[in-house]
Amino acid sequence: MSNPSVTSPSQKTMLLLSHLLLSPAFADSDDRGRSSLSESELLNLGRGDFEQLAALASSNHVIVRGMERLANAMHSRGDAMREEWAQDALAMERTRIANAIPFLRSIGAAFEEEGQQAVVIKSLDHWPDLGSDLDLYTTATPETVLELMKRRFNARLAPRSWGDRLARKWNFVIPGLPEAVEIHVGRLGQTGEQMVLASLVARRARRIQIDGVPFRVPHVSDRLMISALQRMYRHFYFRLCDIIDSAALIEGGSIDYSDLEETATAAGIWEGMATYLVIVADYVNLYRGSGMHLPQAVTSSARFGGEKIFYAKEFLRVPILPQSAGLYGSQLGGLLRKGELESSVRLGLLPWLAGAAVVGQKITGSDKGIW
């Protein structure tokens, strides 16, 4: 992956944010931010540029990590004004997270108290950051979920889109919680086609502690597959949190690559999973120079790498044609070969759903009600 050329102010901001989060110059040391133009620009931000940086960090779910690094860099330079900007943004986000975490724990505990399984997916992958909504997976029936959420939390059911119905997920609005609570019931994947992965998530869930509070979260392999499904097969873009979260798993030696290949192959998404990891490694290496290595089994299975990624509309985009379309075709073909007809039919509806979303966006300016 070559160094990207800057074509717009927002792309410049993504470049600066990536330097802040990935460049060794901003690691925890006494030598921060001295070696490149991007680092110099970060350390001399105007107020408007800072606001744009903070907004982009928020939409990419890295505002805590980004503002911590920026505040440290400014502190080391004795720049009290810009340190205060970063600390104010950090305090605001930490207040939001401090309000959301008890709700997330209470929901998980409520399911457990009533003999049901619930696993927090995606939301805690970004810690100390938190996603824009709270996501869980459960093996409970839809009727049980709806009744429990209303009775225990006075939750109101949000309108469901076509995509929500296919994916078997429900969104809830809870008094006192600005974030929506999204609960996936018995299925995963963009159209609910993933029965193999869904069967693993609750069974292989592990317990972690966040600030002393226990949560059930997916096995590392399952966590990565959920991320790959979201990025390579549905949204077709990466947030910076995906890059940083997954890079930490790679560098920390947390990934059992044999297990990951076996389970992702069974789910029909091994090529997409491998491609996801190669994109992560390529993007990190772009800012660090080198150092992010993957097993040969991963690199040889990837369809493409970071050279195909481009920036647009706040995120790092994955090209749909022909790259992502090829991964979709491979997943659908695998389901058909295994005789998983219901899942195949569900996945086969994706192009029609995507087409309807495009038409809706052009006519009304929104794809609400579809995705």
**Pairing, β 134-138 against β 181-185:** parallel
Using one digit for the tens of pLDDT, what is the confidence trace for 182-228?
999 999 988 888 888 999 999 999 999 998 899 999 999 999 999 99
- Per-residue buried b or exposed e for 312-349, using 16+ beta carbons within 10 Å of the residue's own CB: eebbbbbeeeebbebbbebbbebbeeeebeebbebbeb
Evaluate if pTM is beyond 0.85. Answer: yes
- Residue tagged 């979920």 (tokens): 145
What's the pLDDT score for residue 140?
97
What is the Cα 304 distance to its own chain's centre? Answer: 20
Structure tokens at 160: 């469901």
Structure tokens at 326: 């090829």
CA pair distance 174, 264, nearest whole angstrom: 35
Amino acid residing at 57: A
Q: How many CB atoms lie within 10 A of CB 240?
A: 27
Confidence band for 344, pLDDT divided at 50, 70 and 90? low
- Nearest CA to 350 among 340, 362, 339, 358? 358
Give the list of residues 6+ apart from residue 52 with CB closer than 8 angstroms, or none.
Answer: 9, 10, 13
Structure tokens at 262: 């076996």
